[in-house]
Structure 1
Amino acid sequence: MRLVIARCQVDYVGRLTAHLPMAPRLLLVKADGSVSIHADDRAYKPLNWMSPPCWLTEEPGVWTVRNKADESLVITIDEVLHDSSHELGVDPGLVKDGVEAHLQELLAAHPETFGEGFSLVRREYMTAIGPVDLLCRDAAGAHFAVEVKRRGEIDGVEQLTRYLELMNRDPLLGPVVGVFAAQQIKPQARTLAEDRGIRCLTVDYDALRGMDSKDLRLF
């Protein structure tokens, strides 16, 4: 991973345009090729980014990042304050609790839970900011990103929202619809999810395991 702190401006050109005026920022270049721009607030969410596959070209005072959709992120650098590289190695990934991990496994084995004609594309589909639990496809070929939780709260909806923002930039995937699946979903989380066009699925763990219980409910 390469960390660069620089006074810079950023211009994004693609399906839309965006401009960040000149200011000190953190530029993060990961081993997967992704490039993201961060301010000293907004927690972990970048101001702008380019997801892999993409290619960085460095010229004096200008970084240009392009992807296969011919979108570009142009970073004009006025002054470099810090530039360092660090080898992090292979990350072991997030370890879920037993019920949550098994719930993900069961849903992967039974994608029809999400609707008739659904099929699993991949478990732990990797994005530049982490893996989506499940990537599925419906009978019409549309993609669905599924985030699985034991208890559905607002943080889980925010997490899925960030994944969807990245995945919908990929012309080979988009449009991607989000599904928030949990044994229990708090009312505030459900309201936020529905406001963002994310479907909520209340999952009965015992029913998925083949035990007597109520039917699954899709909202």
Structure 2
Amino acid sequence: MSWPVGSGAVRLVIARCSVDYAGRLAAHLPEANRLIMVKADGCVAIHADGGAYKPLNWMNAPNKLVEITDDDPVQWVVTNPKNETLTITLHEVISDTAHELGDDPGLQKDGVEAHLQELLAATPESIEDGLTLVRREYPTAIGPIDLVCKDPEGTTVAVEVKRRGEIDGVEQLARYIERLELDSSLGDIRGVFVAQSIKPQAKVLAESRGFTWVEVDYDQLRGMAPDELRLF
């Protein structure tokens, strides 16, 4: 049967399972106890008890999840629009629950980060020459993108703004761009990671993902002259 992904409920399954991914490459997770999370937006993620927030394997929404109960053990086959598949074999189900989480107000940025985003929206050329704003807080199924702009060549530019640039922010930008790429009307899309300071590891990761990164001066954006930057 098909589990109604995107139905508004989050399904949490703790099970002894093995997982096989087939797509751009092949990957296998041997049998072990894991948490399988099917989010309301259709994202499917498999977590171990470790590794912080990052899943061992996942499939971003939109997906189709088919539950095959004729065989023993039961299998879930998750397929995305690119025909990549994630096959989860459930050797033993320990817990299977579903929960309605309701609407989420989203992450509340601290004052500096929120104001930084506001200043950059007003002056996108401070990020890159010729950049023009399309929309601030551009909506996607996984949350709003800080800024979506256009460059002089007409390329769509997704901008993620942080006060301190770390690896998590680069990963967040990558997820947003995956969502934008589902909309063919946006044409070519690229990413820019912007922060007051960016850690070296985040710079390397951004470049490896094909993103550019920009460090900006918050006080300069606020129009403060150098001689104003004094305590006494």
State the 1:109 CA deviation.
Answer: 3.1
TM-score of the pair, normalised by structure 1: 0.78
- Secondary structure at the residue paired with 1:5? strand
One-letter code aligned to 1:133: D
Q: Report the number of matched residues.
A: 205
- Which residue does 1:51 correspond to in 2? 60
State the 1:204 CA deviation.
Answer: 2.5
Does 1:23 find its partner at 2:36? no
Provide the alpha-carbon RMSD of the alignment. Answer: 2.9
Q: For the residues of structure 2 that align with 1:74 and 1:120, how far apart are their CA atoms?
A: 41
Which of these residues, 38, 43, 56, is aligned with residue 47 of structure 2? 38
- Which residue does 1:13 correspond to in 2? 22
State the 1:125 CA deviation.
Answer: 4.9
State the 1:159 CA deviation.
Answer: 1.1
CA contact (8 A) 2:45 2:55 kept: yes
- Which residue does 1:71 correspond to in 2? 84
- Which residue does 1:208 correspond to in 2? 221
**Greater CA radius of gyration, 1 or 2?**
2
- Which residue does 2:167 correspond to in 1? 158
CA contact (8 A) 1:204 1:213 kept: no
Q: For the residues of structure 2 that align with 1:161 and 1:74, how far apart are their CA atoms?
A: 28
Cα 1:175/1:3, change in 2 over 3 Å:
farther
State the 1:181 CA deviation.
Answer: 2.0
Which of these residues, 154, 161, 164, is aligned with residue 148 of structure 1? 161
State the 1:77 CA deviation.
Answer: 1.3
Q: For the residues of structure 1 that align with 2:21 and 2:96, how far apart are their CA atoms?
A: 23
- Which residue does 1:115 correspond to in 2? 128
Cα shift readout 1:158-201 (whole Å, capped 9, x = no counterpart):
21232245356565479865533223x16xx1x21232215332
State the 1:2 CA deviation.
Answer: 1.0
- Secondary structure at the residue paired with 1:148? strand
- Secondary structure at the residue paired with 2:100? coil
- Which residue does 2:201 correspond to in 1? 192
Q: For the residues of structure 2 that align with 1:165 and 1:182, how far apart are their CA atoms?
A: 16
CA contact (8 A) 1:193 1:199 kept: no
Does 1:4 find its partner at 2:17? no
CA contact (8 A) 2:162 2:169 kept: no
Does 1:92 find its partner at 2:102? no
The percent identity for this pair of structures is 54
Q: For the residues of structure 1 that align with 2:64 and 2:92, how far apart are their CA atoms?
A: 22
- Secondary structure at the residue paired with 2:201? helix
- Which residue does 1:83 correspond to in 2? 96
Q: For the residues of structure 2 that align with 1:149 and 1:97, how far apart are their CA atoms?
A: 10
- Which residue does 1:217 correspond to in 2? none
